[in-house]
Amino acid sequence: MKKIRVILLLLLVAVLSCVDDSSRLTVPYAPVSFRIDLDGPDYLLKIPLSFLAFSEKEKRLPSDRFGFAGLLVVSDATGNAIYAYDLCCPYEDSKVIKVVPGNEGTAVCPSCGSVFVTMFGITDNNGMRGFGSVKSGPATEPLQSYRVVPLQSGRYSIVN
């Protein structure tokens, strides 16, 4: 009877070890909770393809959280949508290696050279979420995106 249990346990371990882990994001989970005010300090995001980066240094409220490596907030090509991403390159998976945004709707990893497109996303009833897709480089995963929820005129909440 013990041999059967051992064999069943080995079979179970073998089956579970074949699970595909490729769908997991490579950026570790970290809480995100931040507010954007387009009629206040974040007015630059009204300009198409503009961006702002936020970290603990830009904390406005004690409850502010900035994800794993900080927040990259960008406006789309029309200036009508806002998307938020983690600054961590998913290929590098490091808090200290942060993507560098550009005015052309992309962000580049200074270490691996991966280029991510930040100006496209989707808007639905739950808010806006950017794609952060890989344009080139060794990265295969998109930038970690966060949900941008409209609150009231010119104000948004960024959450995960």
- Tokens for 47? 């300009």
Task: Give the Cα separation of 106 and 84 in Å (integer).
Answer: 13
The pTM score is: 0.83
| Tens place of pLDDT per residue across the chain (160 aa) | 555 554 544 444 444 444 333 334 569 999 999 999 999 999 999 999 999 999 999 999 999 999 999 999 999 999 899 999 999 999 999 999 999 998 899 999 999 999 999 999 999 988 999 999 999 999 999 999 999 999 988 999 999 9
- Tokens for 56? 């603990």
Task: Give the Cα separation of 160 and 145 in Å (integer).
Answer: 8
Domain of 125 in residue numbering reads as: 27-159
Task: Give the Cα separation of 74 and 90 in Å (integer).
Answer: 18
Amino acid at residue number 22: S
Q: What helix, strand, coil percent values describe the chain, rounded to 5?
A: 15, 35, 50
pLDDT the model gives residue 68: 97
Find, among 77, 79, 131, the residue nearest to 104 by Cα. Answer: 77
Residue 95 resides in a domain: yes
- Give the chain's largest Cα–Cα span: 72
Residue 154 resides in a domain: yes
Strands (DSSP E) found in 2-152: 32-37, 51-54, 65-66, 71-75, 82-86, 100-101, 106-108, 115-117, 121-124, 127-130, 134-136, 145-152
Residue 7 resides in a domain: no
Domain count, the chain: 1
Residue 11 resides in a domain: no
Residue 15 resides in a domain: no
Kindly report the CATH number assigned to the domain that includes residue 33: 2.102.10.10
Residue 155 resides in a domain: yes
